[in-house]
Structure 1
Amino acid sequence: MSEYFIYAFIYLVAAVIAVPLAILFGLGSVLGYLIAGVVIGPVIGLVGDETTTIQHFAEFGVVIMLFLVGLELEPKSLWAMRHRLLGLGGLQVAGTAAAILGLGIWLGLSWSVALAIGLILALSSTAIVLQTFNEKGLTRTEGGQNAFSVLLFQDIAVIPMLAFIPLLALPELVEKARHVTQQVADHNEELSLIAGLPGWAYGLVITGSMALVVVGGHYLSRPLLRFVACSGLREIFTAAALMLVIGVSVLMTLVGLSPALGTFLAGVVLANSEFRHELEANIEPFRGLLLGLFFITVGAGINFDILFSEFFLVMGLTVGIIVLKALILFVLATIFRIRNSSRWLLALSLAQAGEFGFVLINYTVQNHVLPGSIGQTLSLVVAMSMLLTPLLFIFFEKVILPRFEQTSNEREADHIDEQGTVIIAGIGRFGQIVNRLLVANGIKTVVLDHQAAQVDNLRKINTKAYFGDATRPELLHTAGIEHAAMLIIAIDNRDNAIQLVKYVKHKYPNLKVLVRAFDRGHGYLLRQAGADIIESETYHSAVEIGAAALRVLGCSPEFVENRQHTYKSVDAELSDALYAAWKSEAGEQERFDNNYYKLFIDFEERLKKEMAFGREDVTARTDPQGSRNDSEPEVAEGKRDH
């Protein structure tokens, strides 16, 4: 027992030291885990033969990860991505396997060995890629979504690979290992529901197992989780969540399918469950810890003796596989019209071999498809490609991404071929709402934005916008500012917004300028610059939330409307007085002295007095804890009004 505690302590110490250092130097947690494994394994030798056993246990982290990914996908979302799943994913696996098959035959390998190697290396690392996407915020990007589709297809493809690979067995290896296989089988019999079944029965078992996961996940898991939740014990709910994941994994293993695929399907089924977020919260810590352990075992499992003895062969194969897969993925990304940096993200993120490669390598050796020596070399290639993957992400982040951002910024401004009554500078979330409201009422607008990607996205939904920097006078002239009635400024740079107001009010004093302010201080500076109308981006939404809270607490709609009007009136008076105090003290600086704060406090007291009238109505409708007592019908009425 003490031996396991010692190994656990070693792995944890390595992770606690290496991962924070890796993140500090911008390398990412995955590379930190891999380096930790290399240090405690091949370098220092603190861990050794037990690494393979621990790796099988740590692979459960991949299973949990795919369950959590499934929880994020509703079935309709999965159906929506079917074209990328089958098209992009299918072509990637088939293209990579075919390319490696051709190269293997050219190098003198038999076609069966070359095909087996191609299938193994066609897979990428789901664990590393999804973990890195999550850390770097790349999951929702175009490249991230397409990469996920490819990874999901690869996990599905493992099933037919496991069925097909035994057909590639080499006769000489089968004959050589026949008596050894019989001896091993006598001592290592594994549980299986499909052993000895004919093909038609095997198909029925597979179909029944998948149906059990879907039907059980939809109809049986909810009553179970509801029953467990009634206990109020968080640890029991955690146990139930793990029980579901482990149960599905065991079922998939017994029928010869991928546990990761089964748990992913279970997650998709539970994506609409009311327990979805609770399941995520309870399982997430296990995912992170087990994935970290898996990455450490990958690093610790690198055999430096073989690596050094065949260094150039292993590194040559590793680099060759990464380049080949990246090239194939880049071509497919071009065919599927994945643009700009997303194309590079897809190609570089999936260029490595994956953790399922270890499983398939062992499987091919056991089924006499590959000789043991080739299996050892391939294991090193898979491990080294995974070890280099974080460096590919760093290359993308430091070299590729800035290049496309610079290209976007250097893009020439669009030629503006029309003019409108209103010019809108900035078409983010705020500007889009303003533009839709005006256009819907028949007002002609000219929309400008300095982010090329944003402009291109708006054009996809038939919203006309022009790329260009609205702070440039020549662009405003081209947009027809001399004839416009109004300029609406919704750009996300505070200083640029202020400077634009100053320029426009100086050059075109009769032009009405409406501008979005980020906060009170920014509003003062905009007001000082000459803006005609200034609206805080949070003011109205905050007032509406406060009003909704009063309605839910039982206040009548008339009372709430009166309170809103009172608040706005007092705040408008407060704003004028505070601006005068700020202007006299601050000048061009955004700062607030003690007199300003005193005035603010005085007006807060004034607001309380103004609001005091009718407050008894609120107190009478709610108890001291803020809960309802006898006004339930009015709450419902308030909700309908809201």
Structure 2
Amino acid sequence: MLSLENSSFSDALVILGAAGLVIPAFARFRISPVIGFILVGLLVGPAGLGKLVGFAPWLYYFTISDPHSIEPFAEFGIILLLFSIGLELSFKRLWAMRGLVFGVGAAELFGAGLILAAALYLTGLSAGGAVGLGLALALSSTALVVPIAGTTSAVGRAAFAMLLFEDLALVPIIFLLGAMAPAASAAGWAPLGMILAKGAATVAVLFIGGRFLLPRMFGQAARTKSPELFLAASLLVVIAASLATAAAGLSPIVGALIAGLLIAETEYHTEVEAITAPFKGLALGVFLITVGMRLDLEFVFDHWVTLLGASLLVMVVKTCVTMGLLKLSGARTGTAAETGVLMASPSETTLIVLGVAGAAGLLSPNSMAFWTTVTAIGLTMTPVLAKAGRILAQRIERREVDGAAAKVELDTTALGTVVIGFGRVGRTIADMLERHGLPYIGVDADVDNVNAARKEGYTVMFGDVTRAELVDRLNLGHAKALILTMDDPVLTVRLTRRVRGWVPNLPIIARARDAKHAAELYKAGATDAVPETLESSLQLSEALLVDLGIAVGPVIASIHEERDRMRKAIKEAAGLEREPRIRRVRRGSDVEAGA
């Protein structure tokens, strides 16, 4: 019979309770649950409420009595995280990233590691201790960085490539530290060669066996239509692959990544990803709780100056090295800066390497305790660093692209159509205007869209229309029309109302999400509001009628009639019985002065 006196059972209740409270509470305030889990670990750990159990025994039921007992669950969470990353990849995409992985990734790890090692050596550490500690601190957190940055954005791709190399390099680093131990025998490099040979053979077996076995295995599980069996098969693949690479001397996370890659090549990867997601999130939360338990506030308060200095040293070195290497590889300054700041903190694997260095006699217990605290502080700061990096990147890119945009001359006598929002819809409008020989200029707040559109020959400038000075600079009083295609209903209404107050006669055509949004735009002063739901339904109706054999002419006529009827109904709902009295004039000598 289970009892709350059972340590493991009590710990499990604390963990599950933390997950149930932290995730929704922090989501409500739009704060990363990463910070919440770490704070929970600090609160319920031995340095928090755990210290008071002797005075208040009832606190036993709200604390983690044995921090080491939950570490295997945390490691399993990291394994599931790497497995989910593999599910999002493909062999083709991984091969395309090989330059970043083995070029920038290797240079980042060893470059930052050697710089940190040199600085640590100057503080009095032995050469072996400095190298081990430098490499440990040069590692960055896969468990935190990947969920924050993803793997599809420019920052996510760069970060993931470097993290992937770090994960692959973990076993050689551990072997190197063991070989550098004062008591290590002169065994040479033969053991490392043996590990690499066994690892390569194991990986090859996993790839070949997985190609043939996994589709059949998941096919059988899918035919049973049993979610439990499908989940069991997924976990079996992850555990088997991780155990195989661990037995070969490699890290188990390498096996998890390979398992994800193999399943990603099958048609069942979406179902596997969905069914394992809750386990990954919970296990990752457990890992973050263990990170919080490593923080001792009393130790932090007593040594806050040296801890702050050490943390800043690590973050500055890693940021500069990462940013410099990405710039040399051709990345944009904003992307390089954001990636560098995001990768600045140490990693969960830093704690593993620190343990190995301590066991090898390269680091003293006091040094291990100090740098373990630095690592825990860095992991806690990762979400904050991600936000800071994003803000820094936006400022850098805004400055760069604003400078380039200043070179785009606005002809105030024949400005043409201004298209705000230059994504898929904005480009289509620009294509139609060019086809009819009409001038235009596009405006977009996404620097990636701006750069891509310019390369394709579009006339587009970077600009954030939430800034009044940008709207002033567009000089809309000289424009022939304003098109709003942003996928932001509130901003579209606000901008429509603002511009209408400045330029009463300017035709404003706005993209609306639905009829209700279109009615709001008409009230704000839009000349025309085009609901996406209306147009998609009309296009589907048109295609259907033509396919059923109705002549194109009558079909088009009926579509126009239906569009007019629905538009009239929207205007009536907005309280507008007729079209807004907007004088459509050709811009020229009779234009009214506008903003």
Counterpart CA distance in 2 for 1:98 and 1:163 is 17
- Unaligned 5+ segments in structure 2 are 51-59, 487-491, 581-595
Q: Which residue of 2 aligns with 1:250?
A: 243
**2:558 counterpart of 1:574:** no
Relative to structure 1, the CA distance from residue 104 to residue 560 in structure 2 (aligned partners, 3 Å threshold; closer, same or farther) is farther
The 1:423–1:169 alpha-carbon spacing in structure 2 relative to 1, beyond 3 Å, is: same
Task: Give the distance between the partners of 1:304 and 1:496, measured in 2 at CA.
Answer: 49
Shift of 1:250: 0.5
The 5 Å alignment of 1:475-554 reads 475=475, 487=481, 489-492=483-486, 493-497=492-496, 506=505, 516-520=511-515, 535-545=530-540
Partner of 1:434: 429
How does 1:379-528 map onto structure 2 within 5 Å? Answer: 379-396=372-389, 400=392, 403=395, 413-416=406-409, 423-426=417-420, 427-439=422-434, 441=435, 443=437, 445-451=439-445, 453=447, 454-467=449-462, 472=472, 475=475, 487=481, 489-492=483-486, 493-497=492-496, 506=505, 516-520=511-515
Give the deviation of 1:318 after TM superposition.
Answer: 2.8
What's 1:60 paired with? 76
Q: Does structure 2 retain, via aligned residues, the 8 Å contact 1:52–1:301? A: no
Structure 1 unaligned residues grouped into runs of 5+: 176-195, 590-642
Pairwise mapping of residues 45-444 of structure 1 onto structure 2 (< 5 A)? 45=50, 46=60, 47=63, 50-133=66-149, 140-171=152-183, 201-303=194-296, 312-339=305-332, 341-396=334-389, 400=392, 403=395, 413-416=406-409, 423-426=417-420, 427-439=422-434, 441=435, 443=437
> What do residues 199-223 of structure 1 show as CA deviations (whole Å, max 9, x unaligned)?
6654432221111222222221110
Counterpart CA distance in 1 for 2:31 and 2:210 is 39
Distance 1:523 1:303 in 2: 56
The answer to whether the 8 Å contact 2:117/2:134 transfers is yes
Query: Matched residues in 1 for 2:548 and 2:437: separation?
Result: 33
- Contact kept in structure 1, 2:175 and 2:192, CA below 8 Å: no
Q: Residues 315 and 200 from structure 1, CA distance in 2 versus in 1: closer, same or farther, beyond 3 angstroms? A: closer
The Cα of 1:329 is off from its aligned counterpart by: 2.5
Q: CA–CA distance in 2 between the matches of 1:504 and 1:48?
A: 65
Which of residues 11, 31, 36 in structure 1 aligns to 2:35?
31
Superposed CA deviations along residues 258-317 of structure 1, whole A, max 9, x for unmatched, are 111221122223223100101001110110000001110111233567656655444432
The Cα of 1:487 is off from its aligned counterpart by 4.0
Report sequence identity in percent: 25
Amino acid across the alignment from 2:106: G
Q: 1:364: how far off? A: 2.6
Paired residue for 2:18?
14
Gap change, CA 1:576 and 1:364, over 3 Å in 2: closer
User: Contact 2:315–2:344 (CA<8 Å) still a contact in 1?
Assistant: yes
Aligned match of 2:56: none
Q: Is the 8 A contact 1:330 1:344 kept in 2?
A: yes
State the distance in 1 between where 2:116 and 2:96 align. 31
Conserved 8 A contact 2:426-2:442? no
Displacement after TM superposition at 1:526 (Å):
7.3
1:528-550 deviations in Å (ceiling 9; x for gaps): 999887644343323334566x6
Answer with 234-243 or 8-17: which moved more: 8-17
CA distance in 1, matches of 2:249, 2:351: 16
Alpha-carbon distance in 2 for matches of 1:305, 1:581: 67
Of 81-90 and 282-291, deviating more is 81-90
Q: CA deviation at 1:374?
A: 3.0
Contact 1:458-1:465 at 8 Å conserved across structures: yes
Q: Which amino acid aligns with 2:129?
A: V
Q: 1:144 touches 1:345 (CA, 8 Å); kept in 2?
A: no
Q: Distance in 2 between matches of 1:474 and 1:315?
A: 46
* Per-residue deviation, residues 24-80 of structure 1 (Å, max 9, x unmatched): 555420110001001111111145663123113311111111111111112222222
Aligned-partner residue type, residue 540 of structure 1:
E
Q: Which moved more, 1:301-310 or 1:220-229?
A: 301-310
* Deviates further, 486-495 or 223-232: 486-495
Instruction: Name the SS of the counterpart of 1:256 in structure 2.
Output: coil
In the TM superposition, what whole-angstrom CA distance separates every residue of 1:328-370 from its partner, at most 9, and x where no partner exists? 2333344345445433321222111111112222223333443
The 5-angstrom pairing of residues 615-626 of structure 1 reads none
Is the partner of 1:101 in helix, strand or coil?
Answer: helix
Q: 1:572 to 1:356 in 2, by over 3 A?
A: closer
C-alpha displacement of 1:22: 4.1
Verify the 8 A CA contact 1:421 1:443 in the aligned structure 2. no
Figure out how many residues of one structure are paired with residues of the other and give that number. Answer: 547
Using the TM superposition, give the Cα deviation of residue 141 of structure 1 relative to its aligned residue in structure 2, in angstroms. 3.6
Compared CA separation, residues 296 and 49, structure 1 to 2 (3 A): same
- 3-state SS of 1:59 partner: helix
Shift of 1:133: 3.4
Q: What is the aligned partner in structure 1 of residue 48 from structure 2?
A: 43
- Offset at 1:522? 6.1
CA deviation digits over 1:434-475, x for unaligned, max 9? 223454x47354323153724333113333324567965864
Separation in structure 2 between the aligned mates of residue 275 and residue 160 of structure 1, nearest angstrom: 34
SS at match of 1:448: strand
1:558 aligned onto 2:549: yes
Q: Distance in 2 between matches of 1:580 and 1:108?
A: 77
Partner Cα distance (1:473, 1:346) in 2: 32
Query: Counterpart of 1:447 in 2: which secondary structure?
Result: strand
Q: 1:80 to 1:409 in 2, by over 3 A?
A: closer
**Partner Cα distance (2:222, 2:475) in 1:** 61
Deviates more, 1:326-335 or 1:572-581: 572-581
3-state SS, counterpart of residue 89 of structure 2: coil
Contact 1:547 1:560 (8 Å CA) reproduced:
no
- Relative distance call for 1:155 and 1:112 in structure 2 (3 A) is same
How many Å separate the matches in 1 of 2:450 and 2:332?
15
**In the alignment, residue 145 of structure 1 is paired with which amino acid?**
R
Farther-moved stretch of structure 1 (147-156 vs 31-40):
147-156
- Superposed CA deviations along residues 491-511 of structure 1, whole A, max 9, x for unmatched, are 43235346657977837xxxx
Answer yes or no: is the 8 Å Cα contact 1:74–1:271 preserved in 2: yes
Query: Are the counterparts in 1 of residues 334 and 394 from structure 2 also a CA contact under 8 Å?
Result: no
Q: 1:351 to 1:435 in 2, by over 3 A?
A: same
Distance 2:399 2:303 in 1: 42
Which stretch shifts more, 292-301 or 331-340?
Answer: 331-340
* Alpha carbons of structure 1 residues 367 and 513: separation in structure 2 relative to 1, 3 Å: closer
- Seen in structure 2, the aligned counterparts of structure 1 residues 222 and 560 have a Cα distance that, compared at 3 Å, is farther
C-alpha RMSD of the superposition? 3.9
**Distance apart, 1:129 and its partner CA:** 1.8
TM-score by length of 2: 0.79
How far apart, in 1, do the equivalents of 2:446 and 2:23 lie? 37
- TM-score, normalised with respect to structure 1: 0.74
